[in-house]
A and B are shown apart, each in its own frame.
Chain A
Amino acid sequence: MRYMRLLVVFFKTSLQTDMEYRVDFFTRILASLLGLLTTLGGLSVVFTYTSNIHGWKLADMVVLLSIYYLMDGIIEMFIGPNMRQIMEQVRQGTLDFVLLKPISAQFLATTRQINIWRMANVLIGIGLSIFSVNRLSLSIGPVQAVAFAVTMAASVGIVYSFWLFLVTLTFWVVRIDNLEQIVAQAFEAGRYPIDIYPSWLRGGLTYVIPVVFMITVPARALAGRADGPQVLTSIIIAACAVTLSSWFWRFGLKNYTGASA
């Protein structure tokens, strides 16, 4: 209960700060729409020459793209700003103030701010997924809805843990913004179905940086193509990831001695 109240407070203060930069929202939404136009235009050019790519039709690709935007928006809105702030604070030594507060350090450090205007991509993702589901004239039954909700939640859990893991590394190596770039590059590849990539890259996107469980599986669930084992696997991976990364964070904190101490 106390944690819920805190979340509300965090949300309110973030909202107040971000309201000062309203123009940012329109810039973001314009830039995102242009980016979307590029991908969609590129796809429609490819699909004038073929009707499917490794079994993916244009409409399936648009479903995938909508999940890509949704996840990207969620990451940039909730996860990214907090994690980047932790990195910055480790470098400057101000993380100590976070650790002194009488609540879970992980909770405080990873939920305290929300970048409201990054909502642009979340909105685009939702809009695009509604559009594409209509285009596919999919009837979303309760089973599909549950499968989608579960895989989406698992996806958020996996992304969160992945970031937490990277951020915990900064306790030892201080600078990891380069690693962040590598993850961003892998995530970019998730814009398209991973079936188009050579097998070694598919392996990397499944086991090393699990982009498959972040984007592809939820997209399949929304299109009604995910089977039981896939949904189950993503739940198990998410559960393991959240537990492990949380343990790793606490282990890191124990070894953390402050920047200048």
Chain B
Amino acid sequence: MRYWVTVYRANLKIAIAQMLQYRFGILIWAVWGFVGPLISLAVWTSASVARGGGSIGAAGSGSYSRADFAAYFLTFMIVGHLTMSWDAFEFAFRVRDGNLSPKLLRPLHPIHSDVTFNIAFKLTTCVMILPAWVLLFVVLHPTPPHSLFSFLCGIPAVVMAGLIRYILQYSLAVIAFWTTRVEAINQLYFTLDAFLAGRIAPLSLLPGWMGLMAMYLPFRSMGAFPVELLLGRVPAEQILPGFIMQIAWLGAAVCVFRIMWRAGIKQYSAVGA
């Protein structure tokens, strides 16, 4: 344990220093996180206005008014930022240009330095874009969370979502050992994620078959579930099953990653060697 604390602290120091060196660059990257949710919000707000400002969706916990949409997509924006990972691109690039090889020679799995980089990016950018988030909440008047208990439950759910997403992304990245390119596979992941994690629309507004798919795939655990939990939209009896799903998907993701990594590393012979 002491060992890991030392390792992570040292890595984090390096990562934060690097982030601060390119502070403007990473800020611009962080702004990408605003684009998607705000476009979705604009589309749904317009749809709500076109229907005379009424709520959309079946009555009850599945319906959304203009303020509910604002709450949903703004929360999604923050959760999306806190749980994002971009390792598939980065990793494939490293496999292609051979930069992975020196990292494999270190007595530490390369995932650890990448994790610290991810954390450092979020720490530094959160500080920078916090004012923008606050401003958006002030301007858009979202519905406040329904219950404090649910909101507090939402915090560990966000952490879990981040872990599942990170390890799944890293498993996708490992495919680069075989293909050296992951753009198409990654795009497939983004497409599924856009619908089934609730990025494009709240899950209750999707057609039935898609909602059903969302229940049986990991995407809901990485997006809509923590977001709805924070807002107090998950019915009390579904909170525990939601967490169990998250734990199950995290376990599955870790297994998939370990198997793929072991197979991939055998297959890898360094590009250009």
Q: Give the interface of A toward B (CB within 8 A).
A: 27-28, 30-31, 34-35, 37-38, 41-42, 45-46, 48-54, 177-178, 181-182, 185, 188-189, 191-192, 195-198
Provide the main secondary structure of the chain A interface: helix
4 further A-B contacts with Cβ under 8 Å, apart from A30-B187, A178-B28, are A41-B195, A53-B47, A178-B24, A182-B31
Q: Which of B46, B56, B190 has the most CB of A within 10 A?
A: B46
B16-35 CB contacts (< 8 Å) to partner A:
24-25, 28-29, 31-32, 35
B205 proximity list for chain A (CB < 8 A): 45, 49
Per-residue contact bits, chain B 242-255, to A (CB 8 Å; 1 contact, 0 not):
00000000000000
Decide if A53 touches B43 in the complex (CB within 8 Å). Answer: yes
A188 proximity list for chain B (CB < 8 A): 35, 39
Whether, in the assembled complex, B270 has its beta carbon less than 8 Å from a beta carbon of chain A, the answer is no
Q: Which of B24, B28, B29 has the most CB of A within 10 A?
A: B28
Per-residue contact bits, chain B 198-214, to A (CB 8 Å; 1 contact, 0 not):
00110001110000000
Decide if A37 touches B191 in the complex (CB within 8 Å). Answer: yes
Q: Residue on A with the closest CB to B194?
A: A38
B90 proximity list for chain A (CB < 8 A): none
Whether, in the assembled complex, B183 has its beta carbon less than 8 Å from a beta carbon of chain A, the answer is yes
Q: Residue on B with the closest CB to A191?
A: B39
Cα-based distance from A34 to B28 in the complex (angstroms) = 25
Decide if A45 touches B201 in the complex (CB within 8 Å). Answer: yes
Decide if B181 touches A46 in the complex (CB within 8 Å). Answer: no
Contact A192-B50, Cβ < 8 Å, known A45-B200, A182-B28: no
Interface residues on B, range: 20 to 34
B98-115 CB contacts (< 8 Å) to partner A:
none
Decide if B194 touches A42 in the complex (CB within 8 Å). Answer: yes
Decide if B28 touches A52 in the complex (CB within 8 Å). Answer: no
Decide if A185 touches B43 in the complex (CB within 8 Å). Answer: no
Q: Give the interface of B toward A (CB within 8 A).
A: 24-25, 28-29, 31-32, 35, 39-40, 42-47, 49-51, 56-57, 181, 183-184, 187-188, 190-191, 194-195, 200-201, 205-207
> 3 nearest interchain CB pairs?
A31-B187, A42-B200, A196-B46
Decide if A50 touches B200 in the complex (CB within 8 Å). Answer: no
Decide if A48 touches B207 in the complex (CB within 8 Å). Answer: yes
Cα-based distance from A198 to B47 in the complex (angstroms) = 14
Contact A196-B183, Cβ < 8 Å, known A42-B201, A50-B51: no
A30 proximity list for chain B (CB < 8 A): 184, 187
A42 proximity list for chain B (CB < 8 A): 40, 43, 194-195, 200-201
B50 proximity list for chain A (CB < 8 A): 50-54
Cα-based distance from A261 to B44 in the complex (angstroms) = 55
CB-contact partner of B44 in A27, A46, A48, A195, under 8 A: A46
Q: Residue on B with the closest CB to A37?
A: B191
Would you give 5 A-B contacts (Cβ < 8 Å), ordered by A? Answer: A31-B184, A34-B184, A35-B191, A38-B195, A185-B35
B195 proximity list for chain A (CB < 8 A): 38, 41-42
- Chain A nearest CB, measured from B206 CB (Å): 6
B44 proximity list for chain A (CB < 8 A): 46
Cα-based distance from A189 to B32 in the complex (angstroms) = 11
- Chain A nearest CB, measured from B183 CB (Å): 5
- Chain A nearest CB, measured from B10 CB (Å): 29
Decide if A185 touches B32 in the complex (CB within 8 Å). Answer: yes
Q: Residue on B with the closest CB to A177?
A: B25
B51 proximity list for chain A (CB < 8 A): 49-50
Cα-based distance from A46 to B190 in the complex (angstroms) = 19
Cα-based distance from A35 to B45 in the complex (angstroms) = 23
CB-contact partner of A34 in B31, B56, B188, under 8 A: B188
A50 proximity list for chain B (CB < 8 A): 47, 50-51
Decide if B183 touches A189 in the complex (CB within 8 Å). Answer: no
